[in-house]
């Protein structure tokens, strides 16, 4: 959440975090206009539809991509943390539910033609994996692709070179995309083979930005069909159990 801390630190220095209790007067606050319009002034670059009422009176949820924070309607207090609903079994992480929704919204219109896909269309489960050609555990995952596919898991790859633009890993991702056989070239590259550097129109920057918007910090990162993010390598047998448990 470093992005948000940078935005808010100068706004909220010296202010305590919001204390939510039955004695709080926030439920009785009356505003002459939509409070979100005032929050736009406090948060440069924000959009009206990024704010929505939280389950707590007087507190707004602000979603930027898949990152969530909470801000009081008067703009004086901010909470950087997850919001849980208690009194239910199991307790519900409302913040994570919203992140799932946001991730799925971000990926919804991304075409298969802008991904590298391993596995037939008809397999039972489809996962989207952010990968880095030089990532050790990304290579481990890819080396077991036949096992994932045999268990009914179709893998869609998006590039996320962890070292960022103008790095060797970034150039390798572009070279893979611009090759005549992307899937074969990706496999060769993940085995450590040197791939001829080629330039062409490619989705590497776009997919990298998508990963950032989802709050991605490392690779491999597995996005499941319900919007969960699984960080790191997961063996095929464990992953299929996780996918089969999704309702």
Just list the catalytic residues.
Answer: 132, 135, 138, 162
Tokens read off for 91 = 């307790």
Nearest one of 92, 37, 35 to 59, comparing CA atoms = 35
Q: Give me the count of residues in the chain.
A: 247
SS3 212: helix
Between the alpha carbon of residue 204 and those of residues 96, 104, 131, 208, the distances in Å are 27, 19, 11, 6
Nearest one of 64, 4, 63, 54 to 26, comparing CA atoms = 54
Torsion sign across C-alpha atoms 117, 218, 144, 238 = negative
Q: 145 and 116 in contact (C-beta within 8 Å)?
A: no
Nearest one of 115, 101, 114 to 65, comparing CA atoms = 101
Nearest one of 231, 247, 246, 238 to 148, comparing CA atoms = 238
């Amino acid at each position: 959440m470093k992005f948000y801390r940078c935005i808010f630190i100068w706004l909220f220095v010296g202010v305590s975090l919001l204390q939510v209790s039955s004695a709080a007067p926030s439920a009785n606050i009356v505003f002459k206009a939509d409070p979100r319009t005032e929050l736009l002034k406090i948060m440069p670059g924000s959009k009206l539809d990024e704010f929505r009422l939280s389950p707590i009176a007087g507190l707004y949820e602000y979603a930027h991509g898949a990152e969530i924070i909470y801000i009081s309607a008067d703009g004086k207090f901010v909470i950087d943390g997850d919001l849980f609903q208690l009194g239910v079994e199991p307790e519900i992480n409302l913040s994570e539910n919203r992140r799932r929704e946001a991730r799925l919204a971000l990926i919804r219109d991304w075409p298969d033609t802008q991904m590298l896909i391993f596995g037939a269309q008809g397999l039972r489960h489809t996962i989207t994996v952010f990968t880095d050609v030089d990532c050790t555990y990304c290579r481990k995952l890819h080396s077991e692709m036949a096992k994932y596919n045999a268990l009914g898991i179709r893998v869609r790859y998006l590039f996320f070179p962890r070292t960022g633009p103008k790095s060797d890993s970034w150039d390798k991702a572009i070279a893979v995309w611009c090759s005549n056989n992307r899937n074969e070239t990706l496999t060769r590259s993940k085995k450590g083979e040197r791939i001829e550097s080629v330039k062409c129109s490619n989705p590497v920057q776009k997919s990298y930005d998508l990963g950032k918007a989802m709050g991605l910090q490392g690779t491999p990162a597995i996005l499941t069909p319900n919007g969960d993010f699984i960080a790191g390598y997961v063996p095929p047998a464990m992953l299929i159990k996780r996918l089969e448990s999704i309702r």
